[in-house]
Structure 1
Amino acid sequence: MALVPCQVLRAAILLSYCSILCNYKAIDMPAHQTYGGSWKFLTFIDLVIQAVFFGICVLTDLSSLLTKGNDSQEQERQLKKLISLRDWVMAVLAFPVGVILPSSVVTWWLLREPERAVVQLPPELCSPRGVFPDFQFPLLVISFIVLFQIHSL
Protein backbone atom coordinates (compact mmCIF):
# COMPACT_ATOMS: atom_id res chain seq x y z
CA MET A 1 0.00 0.00 0.00
CA ALA A 2 1.44 3.35 -1.02
CA LEU A 3 1.54 6.22 1.39
CA VAL A 4 -0.52 9.32 0.72
CA PRO A 5 1.70 12.23 -0.38
CA CYS A 6 1.86 15.04 2.16
CA GLN A 7 0.46 17.53 -0.37
CA VAL A 8 -2.74 15.52 -0.76
CA LEU A 9 -3.02 15.02 3.00
CA ARG A 10 -2.60 18.75 3.66
CA ALA A 11 -5.23 19.62 1.07
CA ALA A 12 -7.65 17.09 2.60
CA ILE A 13 -7.08 18.48 6.09
CA LEU A 14 -7.63 22.03 4.80
CA LEU A 15 -10.92 21.00 3.18
CA SER A 16 -12.06 19.25 6.36
CA TYR A 17 -11.26 22.33 8.46
CA CYS A 18 -13.17 24.55 6.03
CA SER A 19 -16.19 22.21 6.07
CA ILE A 20 -16.16 22.16 9.88
CA LEU A 21 -16.01 25.98 9.89
CA CYS A 22 -18.99 26.19 7.53
CA ASN A 23 -21.02 23.74 9.62
CA TYR A 24 -20.04 25.53 12.84
CA LYS A 25 -21.32 28.84 11.49
CA ALA A 26 -24.58 27.18 10.40
CA ILE A 27 -25.46 26.17 13.98
CA ASP A 28 -27.69 28.78 15.57
CA MET A 29 -26.58 29.02 19.19
CA PRO A 30 -27.58 31.78 21.62
CA ALA A 31 -23.91 32.30 22.50
CA HIS A 32 -23.22 33.38 18.90
CA GLN A 33 -25.57 36.37 19.30
CA THR A 34 -23.75 37.81 22.35
CA TYR A 35 -20.67 40.00 22.52
CA GLY A 36 -17.77 38.40 20.72
CA GLY A 37 -19.89 35.84 18.91
CA SER A 38 -17.97 32.72 17.91
CA TRP A 39 -14.60 34.44 18.42
CA LYS A 40 -14.82 34.15 22.20
CA PHE A 41 -14.45 30.36 22.00
CA LEU A 42 -10.93 28.91 21.91
CA THR A 43 -12.05 26.01 19.74
CA PHE A 44 -13.28 28.38 17.03
CA ILE A 45 -10.10 30.47 17.18
CA ASP A 46 -7.99 27.30 16.95
CA LEU A 47 -10.06 26.06 14.03
CA VAL A 48 -9.46 29.30 12.12
CA ILE A 49 -5.72 29.31 12.94
CA GLN A 50 -5.34 25.69 11.82
CA ALA A 51 -7.30 26.35 8.61
CA VAL A 52 -5.06 29.35 7.82
CA PHE A 53 -1.95 27.31 8.58
CA PHE A 54 -2.98 24.44 6.33
CA GLY A 55 -3.96 26.96 3.64
CA ILE A 56 -0.41 28.33 3.76
CA CYS A 57 0.95 24.75 3.64
CA VAL A 58 -1.11 23.94 0.54
CA LEU A 59 -0.03 27.21 -1.08
CA THR A 60 3.61 26.40 -0.29
CA ASP A 61 3.25 22.90 -1.77
CA LEU A 62 1.63 24.25 -4.93
CA SER A 63 4.29 26.94 -5.37
CA SER A 64 7.09 24.44 -4.88
CA LEU A 65 5.52 22.16 -7.50
CA LEU A 66 5.11 25.06 -9.94
CA THR A 67 8.64 26.40 -9.47
CA LYS A 68 10.28 22.97 -9.71
CA GLY A 69 12.58 22.96 -12.72
CA ASN A 70 12.75 26.76 -13.02
CA ASP A 71 16.05 28.46 -12.37
CA SER A 72 14.47 31.81 -11.53
CA GLN A 73 16.10 33.29 -8.45
CA GLU A 74 13.09 35.54 -7.83
CA GLN A 75 10.75 32.55 -7.59
CA GLU A 76 13.14 30.75 -5.27
CA ARG A 77 13.32 33.84 -3.03
CA GLN A 78 9.52 34.09 -2.92
CA LEU A 79 9.25 30.39 -2.11
CA LYS A 80 11.75 30.78 0.75
CA LYS A 81 9.66 33.68 2.12
CA LEU A 82 6.53 31.56 1.93
CA ILE A 83 8.26 28.67 3.70
CA SER A 84 9.50 31.00 6.44
CA LEU A 85 5.94 32.38 6.83
CA ARG A 86 4.63 28.80 7.14
CA ASP A 87 7.25 27.97 9.76
CA TRP A 88 6.52 31.18 11.69
CA VAL A 89 2.75 30.53 11.74
CA MET A 90 3.42 27.00 12.98
CA ALA A 91 5.82 28.10 15.71
CA VAL A 92 3.91 31.17 16.92
CA LEU A 93 0.22 30.40 16.39
CA ALA A 94 -0.75 26.91 15.24
CA PHE A 95 1.33 24.77 17.59
CA PRO A 96 0.84 26.72 20.88
CA VAL A 97 -2.91 27.11 20.46
CA GLY A 98 -3.17 23.55 19.17
CA VAL A 99 -1.47 22.29 22.34
CA ILE A 100 -3.50 24.46 24.72
CA LEU A 101 -6.84 23.29 23.33
CA PRO A 102 -6.40 19.52 23.83
CA SER A 103 -4.85 20.04 27.25
CA SER A 104 -7.87 22.10 28.29
CA VAL A 105 -10.19 19.40 26.88
CA VAL A 106 -8.36 16.72 28.88
CA THR A 107 -8.62 18.90 31.99
CA TRP A 108 -12.33 19.34 31.34
CA TRP A 109 -12.84 15.58 31.10
CA LEU A 110 -10.80 14.95 34.25
CA LEU A 111 -12.94 17.45 36.16
CA ARG A 112 -16.18 16.12 34.70
CA GLU A 113 -15.71 12.41 35.36
CA PRO A 114 -15.73 12.35 39.19
CA GLU A 115 -18.74 14.65 39.47
CA ARG A 116 -20.68 15.75 36.42
CA ALA A 117 -22.18 18.76 38.20
CA VAL A 118 -18.74 20.45 38.35
CA VAL A 119 -18.56 20.88 34.58
CA GLN A 120 -21.94 20.65 32.93
CA LEU A 121 -23.16 21.47 29.45
CA PRO A 122 -25.67 24.30 29.10
CA PRO A 123 -29.24 22.96 28.94
CA GLU A 124 -29.82 24.40 25.46
CA LEU A 125 -27.07 22.14 24.06
CA CYS A 126 -28.39 18.94 25.63
CA SER A 127 -31.03 16.68 24.14
CA PRO A 128 -33.94 16.16 23.46
CA ARG A 129 -34.26 19.32 21.32
CA GLY A 130 -30.70 20.61 21.78
CA VAL A 131 -27.84 20.82 19.37
CA PHE A 132 -25.98 17.71 20.55
CA PRO A 133 -27.54 14.38 21.53
CA ASP A 134 -26.07 12.80 24.66
CA PHE A 135 -23.70 10.51 22.74
CA GLN A 136 -22.53 13.05 20.16
CA PHE A 137 -20.77 15.59 22.40
CA PRO A 138 -18.07 13.18 23.67
CA LEU A 139 -17.54 12.00 20.08
CA LEU A 140 -17.10 15.61 18.97
CA VAL A 141 -14.46 16.24 21.64
CA ILE A 142 -12.64 13.02 20.79
CA SER A 143 -12.65 13.89 17.07
CA PHE A 144 -10.94 17.22 17.80
CA ILE A 145 -8.27 15.38 19.80
CA VAL A 146 -7.76 12.90 16.95
CA LEU A 147 -7.48 15.73 14.40
CA PHE A 148 -4.86 17.40 16.57
CA GLN A 149 -2.88 14.19 16.86
CA ILE A 150 -3.00 13.64 13.09
CA HIS A 151 -1.91 17.17 12.25
CA SER A 152 0.94 17.14 14.78
CA LEU A 153 2.61 14.19 13.03
Structure 2
Amino acid sequence: MVGRLRDPRLEGFVHLFCFLWALFSLSQNVGLPHSVRRESENTYGGRWKYLTFINQILQTLLFGICTIVDFHRMFISAKKNSVSSRLLPLRDFIFSVLVFPVGLFVAVTFWTLYAYDRELVYPKELDEINPAWLNHTMHTTILPLLLIELVTCPHKYLSKLKGVVGLSIFGTSYLTWILWVNYASGIWAYPILEVLGIPGKAVLFSLSYLLMIGFYVLGEHLTKLLWGDFRKHKK
Protein backbone atom coordinates (compact mmCIF):
# COMPACT_ATOMS: atom_id res chain seq x y z
CA MET A 1 0.00 0.00 0.00
CA VAL A 2 1.12 3.55 -0.71
CA GLY A 3 -0.90 5.36 1.93
CA ARG A 4 2.16 6.02 4.08
CA LEU A 5 3.68 8.07 1.28
CA ARG A 6 0.84 10.59 1.23
CA ASP A 7 1.73 14.23 1.67
CA PRO A 8 -1.31 16.57 1.84
CA ARG A 9 0.63 19.48 0.31
CA LEU A 10 1.98 17.37 -2.54
CA GLU A 11 -1.47 15.88 -3.07
CA GLY A 12 -2.97 19.37 -3.25
CA PHE A 13 -0.31 20.51 -5.74
CA VAL A 14 -0.86 17.44 -7.95
CA HIS A 15 -4.62 17.95 -7.95
CA LEU A 16 -4.25 21.64 -8.74
CA PHE A 17 -1.92 20.83 -11.65
CA CYS A 18 -4.32 18.18 -12.97
CA PHE A 19 -7.27 20.58 -12.65
CA LEU A 20 -5.48 23.35 -14.54
CA TRP A 21 -4.41 20.93 -17.27
CA ALA A 22 -7.92 19.47 -17.58
CA LEU A 23 -9.38 22.99 -17.70
CA PHE A 24 -6.84 24.04 -20.34
CA SER A 25 -7.58 20.95 -22.46
CA LEU A 26 -11.31 21.52 -22.20
CA SER A 27 -11.01 25.20 -23.11
CA GLN A 28 -8.88 24.34 -26.14
CA ASN A 29 -11.46 21.80 -27.29
CA VAL A 30 -14.29 24.29 -26.88
CA GLY A 31 -12.21 26.92 -28.68
CA LEU A 32 -11.81 24.85 -31.84
CA PRO A 33 -13.12 26.70 -34.89
CA HIS A 34 -16.29 25.42 -36.47
CA SER A 35 -15.81 24.05 -39.97
CA VAL A 36 -17.77 22.36 -42.73
CA ARG A 37 -15.47 19.40 -42.12
CA ARG A 38 -16.85 19.26 -38.58
CA GLU A 39 -20.44 19.96 -39.52
CA SER A 40 -21.74 17.53 -36.89
CA GLU A 41 -20.52 19.95 -34.20
CA ASN A 42 -22.63 22.72 -35.70
CA THR A 43 -25.81 20.68 -35.61
CA TYR A 44 -28.09 19.08 -33.07
CA GLY A 45 -26.31 18.29 -29.80
CA GLY A 46 -23.08 20.11 -30.64
CA ARG A 47 -20.00 18.75 -28.89
CA TRP A 48 -22.21 17.07 -26.30
CA LYS A 49 -22.67 14.20 -28.76
CA TYR A 50 -19.11 13.07 -28.11
CA LEU A 51 -18.07 10.94 -25.15
CA THR A 52 -14.61 12.50 -25.38
CA PHE A 53 -16.06 15.92 -24.58
CA ILE A 54 -18.27 14.60 -21.78
CA ASN A 55 -15.26 12.81 -20.32
CA GLN A 56 -13.28 16.06 -20.36
CA ILE A 57 -16.11 17.74 -18.45
CA LEU A 58 -16.11 14.92 -15.88
CA GLN A 59 -12.33 15.00 -15.42
CA THR A 60 -12.32 18.76 -14.97
CA LEU A 61 -15.14 18.51 -12.44
CA LEU A 62 -13.34 15.73 -10.55
CA PHE A 63 -10.04 17.58 -10.23
CA GLY A 64 -11.85 20.78 -9.33
CA ILE A 65 -13.56 18.99 -6.44
CA CYS A 66 -10.27 17.34 -5.42
CA THR A 67 -8.56 20.73 -5.32
CA ILE A 68 -11.31 22.23 -3.15
CA VAL A 69 -11.13 19.28 -0.74
CA ASP A 70 -7.32 19.47 -0.52
CA PHE A 71 -7.20 23.20 0.15
CA HIS A 72 -9.97 22.99 2.74
CA ARG A 73 -8.03 20.30 4.55
CA MET A 74 -4.81 22.31 4.48
CA PHE A 75 -6.16 25.69 5.57
CA ILE A 76 -9.32 24.95 7.58
CA SER A 77 -9.45 23.08 10.86
CA ALA A 78 -11.03 19.63 10.89
CA LYS A 79 -13.95 20.83 13.05
CA LYS A 80 -14.88 23.44 10.44
CA ASN A 81 -14.12 21.29 7.45
CA SER A 82 -17.72 20.37 6.66
CA VAL A 83 -17.43 21.40 3.01
CA SER A 84 -14.70 18.89 2.21
CA SER A 85 -16.43 16.11 4.15
CA ARG A 86 -19.59 16.66 2.11
CA LEU A 87 -17.65 16.68 -1.15
CA LEU A 88 -15.76 13.44 -0.45
CA PRO A 89 -18.63 11.08 -1.37
CA LEU A 90 -19.22 13.05 -4.58
CA ARG A 91 -15.50 12.98 -5.40
CA ASP A 92 -15.28 9.23 -4.85
CA PHE A 93 -18.44 8.55 -6.87
CA ILE A 94 -17.33 10.63 -9.84
CA PHE A 95 -13.91 8.97 -9.95
CA SER A 96 -14.92 5.35 -9.34
CA VAL A 97 -18.18 5.15 -11.29
CA LEU A 98 -17.59 7.67 -14.06
CA VAL A 99 -14.13 9.13 -14.62
CA PHE A 100 -11.99 6.00 -14.34
CA PRO A 101 -14.06 3.57 -16.46
CA VAL A 102 -15.24 6.19 -18.96
CA GLY A 103 -11.82 7.82 -19.33
CA LEU A 104 -10.10 4.48 -19.82
CA PHE A 105 -12.79 3.47 -22.31
CA VAL A 106 -12.31 6.67 -24.33
CA ALA A 107 -8.53 6.30 -24.52
CA VAL A 108 -8.47 2.56 -25.29
CA THR A 109 -11.29 2.48 -27.85
CA PHE A 110 -10.19 5.65 -29.64
CA TRP A 111 -6.62 4.52 -30.21
CA THR A 112 -7.65 0.94 -30.98
CA LEU A 113 -10.02 2.10 -33.72
CA TYR A 114 -7.50 4.71 -34.85
CA ALA A 115 -4.87 2.01 -35.32
CA TYR A 116 -7.30 -0.26 -37.17
CA ASP A 117 -8.87 2.38 -39.44
CA ARG A 118 -8.74 5.98 -38.33
CA GLU A 119 -11.56 6.93 -40.72
CA LEU A 120 -13.94 5.07 -38.40
CA VAL A 121 -13.29 7.46 -35.54
CA TYR A 122 -11.06 10.38 -36.56
CA PRO A 123 -11.00 11.11 -40.31
CA LYS A 124 -7.67 12.26 -41.70
CA GLU A 125 -9.15 15.55 -42.88
CA LEU A 126 -9.47 16.59 -39.21
CA ASP A 127 -5.67 16.88 -39.09
CA GLU A 128 -6.05 20.11 -41.06
CA ILE A 129 -8.18 21.56 -38.25
CA ASN A 130 -6.99 19.92 -35.06
CA PRO A 131 -3.30 20.15 -34.19
CA ALA A 132 -1.83 16.81 -33.13
CA TRP A 133 -1.15 18.03 -29.59
CA LEU A 134 -4.82 18.93 -29.15
CA ASN A 135 -5.89 15.47 -30.28
CA HIS A 136 -3.59 14.04 -27.60
CA THR A 137 -5.06 16.27 -24.89
CA MET A 138 -8.48 14.83 -25.69
CA HIS A 139 -7.55 11.17 -26.15
CA THR A 140 -4.11 10.49 -24.67
CA THR A 141 -3.28 12.61 -21.63
CA ILE A 142 -6.58 11.65 -20.03
CA LEU A 143 -5.00 8.26 -19.30
CA PRO A 144 -2.02 9.45 -17.21
CA LEU A 145 -4.39 11.78 -15.34
CA LEU A 146 -6.39 8.71 -14.33
CA LEU A 147 -3.29 6.89 -13.16
CA ILE A 148 -2.06 9.93 -11.23
CA GLU A 149 -5.36 10.17 -9.40
CA LEU A 150 -5.37 6.44 -8.74
CA VAL A 151 -2.04 6.54 -6.89
CA THR A 152 -2.42 10.01 -5.36
CA CYS A 153 -5.31 9.29 -3.00
CA PRO A 154 -7.70 6.45 -2.17
CA HIS A 155 -11.32 6.47 -3.26
CA LYS A 156 -14.21 4.82 -1.53
CA TYR A 157 -16.11 2.42 -3.76
CA LEU A 158 -19.79 1.66 -3.49
CA SER A 159 -20.90 -1.96 -3.39
CA LYS A 160 -20.21 -3.56 -6.77
CA LEU A 161 -23.95 -3.72 -7.54
CA LYS A 162 -24.49 -0.01 -6.89
CA GLY A 163 -21.37 0.91 -8.82
CA VAL A 164 -22.36 -1.16 -11.84
CA VAL A 165 -25.91 0.22 -11.71
CA GLY A 166 -24.57 3.80 -11.59
CA LEU A 167 -22.27 3.21 -14.56
CA SER A 168 -25.07 1.41 -16.43
CA ILE A 169 -27.39 4.39 -15.94
CA PHE A 170 -24.71 6.69 -17.34
CA GLY A 171 -24.02 4.38 -20.30
CA THR A 172 -27.70 3.88 -21.08
CA SER A 173 -28.33 7.62 -20.87
CA TYR A 174 -25.50 8.34 -23.30
CA LEU A 175 -26.63 5.64 -25.71
CA THR A 176 -30.18 6.97 -25.59
CA TRP A 177 -28.83 10.46 -26.25
CA ILE A 178 -26.82 9.57 -29.38
CA LEU A 179 -29.73 7.49 -30.71
CA TRP A 180 -32.03 10.44 -30.19
CA VAL A 181 -29.56 12.78 -31.92
CA ASN A 182 -29.56 10.45 -34.92
CA TYR A 183 -33.34 10.25 -34.90
CA ALA A 184 -33.73 14.03 -34.64
CA SER A 185 -30.99 15.10 -37.05
CA GLY A 186 -29.92 12.04 -39.06
CA ILE A 187 -26.33 12.44 -37.81
CA TRP A 188 -24.30 9.75 -36.09
CA ALA A 189 -21.79 11.02 -33.55
CA TYR A 190 -19.11 8.61 -34.81
CA PRO A 191 -18.24 7.56 -38.38
CA ILE A 192 -18.14 3.88 -37.38
CA LEU A 193 -21.88 3.98 -36.66
CA GLU A 194 -22.53 5.13 -40.22
CA VAL A 195 -21.02 1.97 -41.74
CA LEU A 196 -22.50 -0.58 -39.32
CA GLY A 197 -25.90 -2.15 -39.78
CA ILE A 198 -28.32 -2.72 -36.92
CA PRO A 199 -26.73 -6.05 -35.87
CA GLY A 200 -23.27 -4.48 -35.99
CA LYS A 201 -24.41 -1.55 -33.87
CA ALA A 202 -25.99 -3.92 -31.33
CA VAL A 203 -22.72 -5.87 -31.06
CA LEU A 204 -20.68 -2.66 -30.75
CA PHE A 205 -22.94 -1.24 -28.04
CA SER A 206 -22.92 -4.53 -26.11
CA LEU A 207 -19.13 -4.87 -26.27
CA SER A 208 -18.70 -1.24 -25.26
CA TYR A 209 -20.92 -1.76 -22.22
CA LEU A 210 -19.05 -4.89 -21.14
CA LEU A 211 -15.73 -3.11 -21.63
CA MET A 212 -16.76 -0.19 -19.42
CA ILE A 213 -17.97 -2.59 -16.72
CA GLY A 214 -14.62 -4.37 -16.97
CA PHE A 215 -12.80 -1.05 -16.53
CA TYR A 216 -14.93 -0.29 -13.46
CA VAL A 217 -13.96 -3.63 -11.90
CA LEU A 218 -10.32 -2.97 -12.83
CA GLY A 219 -10.41 0.41 -11.07
CA GLU A 220 -11.88 -1.17 -7.95
CA HIS A 221 -9.24 -3.92 -7.99
CA LEU A 222 -6.35 -1.48 -8.48
CA THR A 223 -7.66 0.74 -5.68
CA LYS A 224 -7.85 -2.27 -3.38
CA LEU A 225 -4.35 -3.34 -4.41
CA LEU A 226 -2.88 0.11 -3.74
CA TRP A 227 -4.86 1.17 -0.70
CA GLY A 228 -6.38 -1.96 0.83
CA ASP A 229 -9.98 -2.47 1.92
CA PHE A 230 -10.15 0.07 4.73
CA ARG A 231 -11.88 2.70 2.61
CA LYS A 232 -14.33 0.40 0.87
CA HIS A 233 -17.96 0.37 1.90
CA LYS A 234 -18.89 -2.77 3.78
CA LYS A 235 -22.33 -3.56 2.51
TM range (shorter): 0.7 to 0.9
* Matched residue count: 138
Segments of structure 1 that go 5 or more residues without pairing to the other structure are none
Change (3 A) 1:90 1:44: same
How far apart, CA to CA, are the structure 2 residues paired with 1:47 and 1:92?
15
Aligned pair partner of 2:106 in 92, 101, 105: 101
How far apart, CA to CA, are the structure 1 residues paired with 2:87 and 2:33?
37
Q: So what's the TM-score if we normalise by structure 1?
A: 0.73
Question: Which is richer in helix?
Answer: 2
How far apart, CA to CA, are the structure 1 residues paired with 2:51 and 2:108?
12
Change (3 A) 1:120 1:16: closer
How far apart, CA to CA, are the structure 2 residues paired with 1:108 and 1:80?
41
CA contact (8 A) 2:32 2:130 kept: no
Segments of structure 2 that go 5 or more residues without pairing to the other structure are 1-6, 152-235
Cα distance, 1:151 vs structure 2: 3.7
Q: Which residues of 2 match residues 4-153 of structure 1 at below 5 A?
A: 5-29=10-34, 30-68=39-77, 72=79, 75-112=80-117, 119=120, 121-122=122-123, 124-126=125-127, 130-132=128-130, 136=132, 140=136, 141-153=139-151
Change (3 A) 1:59 1:40: same
RMSD over aligned CA atoms reads: 2.8
Percentage identity across paired residues of the two chains:
26
Change (3 A) 1:111 1:11: same
Higher relative contact order (CA 8 A, sep 6+): 2
